[in-house]
Structure 1
């Protein structure tokens, strides 16, 4: 009986400690012997309507292998590898970040190549969504839906996260429906899952499984701290190691897609490696973290600012970085033309701060059909002069080809309205329900193309 009393006291003490860590606005109606027990339910009741299930359908182009050269003639062009299309469907999650405009954030890999995108709200409503834009290298995509009474999630400052902070993951694993799991922030600044991507992951032990991709990682206040994107585990199962894209990185990328219709990724123009323990000892550095600059590209943003080979970059905008991958991930989410402050240790040991204005990298993908149905089949990009939208190419037998668009055309206006970029083109066409006349510059000619 004495052991039982000690156990009960221990449980109540643990509950009291857990209670002190919860936000003040969390109502705790449950009690045992007068002792209140903590619950995340009040907070989750406000947040979970902003997390949606995403269902996609589409077709993959599958290349057929091991076809003898003598038989390739029967599959079309004998010089090309034969291929066929295979239908697919998939499930994922998404987060509503703007209820008024219907903006939903998810992972690019959830909706990539999808012909149909449908979201299911917590109240059971199913709504068709359109893709506004995506960034493959950071695995972020922005969708838009039209519906009333949507709920949005507040976005937290992920730079303020600390290892040990509580974290809650919300998504739809294995298509079971909305599921909530909890844990802590296990690590920050993780990278290395894909060398070609821009990675600066939050690592968490909150259970994340297949289908959670694109879902929310929130703090105990119910604010978004990350978008769940990847796991390490056999057969897509959870082993307590999950990764989320930090909310600050998500916001930077989404803001660019909304404003420009694309991600105008900033480029620093350096190559290098992470500072290790042996490296720090050899360079006589106090800490074994940071990004060592091995090479600076001539004419790059770093070169113009004065950064040199041999420098060690230790902070971005006052925040410490642990590795070169973390530097790459942070810079890669900041838009071109923006200024960043870089703290640097010079080869002589002096510390110096540089103000660097980032230059533009390659654009991310924009879906022309999300701008107007008659632009499907065209590849669009912002013109380098910031005057108009460049039609890079047009596929045969598509709506864009049928209305007369050609590769090399520059859309400079709609009706009598001048157009500077993709975002302005999308906004104008969205608000114009009737006939529109696209003002096109084709070589030395000025012409109009009618769309409806």
Structure 2
């Protein structure tokens, strides 16, 4: 009986020690692990169990210091000789005066005073005033502009100015940190930070008039137009140009013209006096689910070629209707704005390597970009060409294309050759691409309404039914 009692005591003691050891080592470890956030559990969902700490070591101070002195305030001033309305009469009397038409920002790109801004900031200005970050004010002259991309080049007479070097916008990455530098609400030298939210963003949602913006969530407000979008190295990767907002103020989306496009336009204006626009020589569009179904396509991304322009580089290289463009040089083409954005940074005579998908097989073709010199409108019997700034100025036109040939015997050649077409079907025309877009997008039964300035500079209108 004594032995049984001893064995029972030993058993109870052993169980207590075992349980105590379990509680001491295992439960304490589990509690400690749970407290440290390291408790493990099985899951069918992939979980990152590393000890990584998420965050950023990006330092914006250097980029801000590099760029803030090179972004200027731009005032668009109208000078008038007499009152244009009752309010100006009470303010200025019969003497006329000066009125602020608008304001925005600009980016100094050379030490001798060349400044990039938006076309809409300086459009229609009689005088342009530029104020630097040090409060010095200069008069500026317009060197040239491109309304289609909303880029303008102005210049002030100054030396040794701070400037921002151009970066390569093609190398900008989604999620990359950026700074927006400008003068929102006329507040001088404001810097906001964000990331690149999207590239090749098209706000028109129409492939026949594509845009290609960098989208950012850096705060951009009225007055930021024409300011700088820079990376953390202080390089210019975009010109801030638009916000998407029902209120007119920032609500999370802002857009910038990529620096590669802006730089090309500026260089064209400085070297040639106007913008040299190269074309691939195709008409087409982004691939949609409807197109995949209708044409039995094997891919859902790319640009479908609907037409190849006769005599263009595309035709000479062997591109065909039905081909799908997947890549140009090293740029992936997922939608039409990818293509138009890259081609917009090129000139006539440049050669690009185009990767296409044809009948399920990939091919690479070298295409030389050409310049669209003229466009014929058979429906009305005229041929038009891009107008030079001198030709526009001669007839006091702000925009338009020149009629350079009459194709119909029923039209007055003396009155029309040299005239400037400013609108077609109530849409402003800036170049022959605009003409082509309007003509090809209309139904054949629709009338064509032409607004033009004749060779005497008088406004006329003609309707073809």
SS in 1 for 2:102: strand
* 2:63/2:231 contact within 8 Å kept: no
Quote the residue 2:283 is aligned against.
Answer: 271
Quote the residue 2:240 is aligned against.
Answer: 228
Q: Tell me the CA shift for residue 288 of structure 1.
A: 2.4
Quick one: distance in 2 between partners of 1:194 and 1:129? Answer: 35
2:101 paired residue among 75, 89, 94: 89
1:48 and 2:68 are equivalent in the alignment: yes
> Which residues of 2 match residues 12-411 of structure 1 at below 5 A?
17-19=55-57, 22=58, 39-58=59-78, 89-100=101-112, 102-193=113-204, 195=206, 197-277=209-289, 279-280=291-292, 287-346=299-358, 348-361=359-372, 377=394
Q: Tell me the CA shift for residue 287 of structure 1.
A: 4.7
SS in 2 for 1:235: coil
Quick one: distance in 2 between partners of 1:87 and 1:47? Answer: 30
Partner deviation per Cα, 1:232-273 (whole Å, 9 max, x = no partner): 002311011101111111111111111101101112221111
Quote the residue 1:28 is aligned against.
Answer: none
Q: Tell me the CA shift for residue 167 of structure 1.
A: 1.1
Quick one: distance in 1 between partners of 2:189 and 2:241? Answer: 16
CA distance 1:334–1:269, shift in 2 (3 Å): same
Scaled by the length of structure 1, what TM-score is found?
0.65
Corresponding pairs, count: 325
SS in 2 for 1:206: coil
* 1:133/1:366 contact within 8 Å kept: no
* 2:78/2:101 contact within 8 Å kept: yes
* 273-282 vs 262-271, which moves further: 273-282
Quick one: distance in 1 between partners of 2:251 and 2:140? Answer: 32
Partner deviation per Cα, 1:257-309 (whole Å, 9 max, x = no partner): 11101101112221111013454477666652211001112112211211110
Higher Cα Rg, which structure = 2
CA distance 1:176–1:351, shift in 2 (3 Å): same
Q: Tell me the CA shift for residue 149 of structure 1.
A: 2.6
* 1:135/1:364 contact within 8 Å kept: no
CA distance 1:364–1:217, shift in 2 (3 Å): farther
* 2:75/2:100 contact within 8 Å kept: no
CA distance 1:361–1:93, shift in 2 (3 Å): farther
Gaps of 5+ in 2: 1-35, 37-50, 85-97, 374-384, 405-416, 419-465
SS in 2 for 1:18: coil
SS in 2 for 1:98: coil
CA distance 1:52–1:87, shift in 2 (3 Å): closer
Quick one: distance in 1 between partners of 2:393 and 2:299? Answer: 52
* 2:328/2:354 contact within 8 Å kept: yes
SS in 2 for 1:327: helix
Quick one: distance in 2 between partners of 1:379 and 1:326? Answer: 36
Quick one: distance in 2 between partners of 1:240 and 1:258? Answer: 35
Quick one: distance in 2 between partners of 1:145 and 1:182? Answer: 29
CA distance 1:139–1:15, shift in 2 (3 Å): farther
* 1:231/1:242 contact within 8 Å kept: yes
Partner deviation per Cα, 1:11-64 (whole Å, 9 max, x = no partner): xx9999422xx2xxxxxxxxxxxxxxxx5223311211111110011379xxx9
Quick one: distance in 2 between partners of 1:199 and 1:305? Answer: 26
SS in 1 for 2:247: helix
CA distance 1:136–1:243, shift in 2 (3 Å): same
Q: Tell me the CA shift for residue 322 of structure 1.
A: 2.1
* 1:267/1:359 contact within 8 Å kept: yes
* 2:119/2:152 contact within 8 Å kept: yes
Quick one: distance in 1 between partners of 2:109 and 2:205? Answer: 27
Q: Tell me the CA shift for residue 316 of structure 1.
A: 1.8
CA distance 1:145–1:14, shift in 2 (3 Å): farther
Quick one: distance in 1 between partners of 2:135 and 2:125? Answer: 22
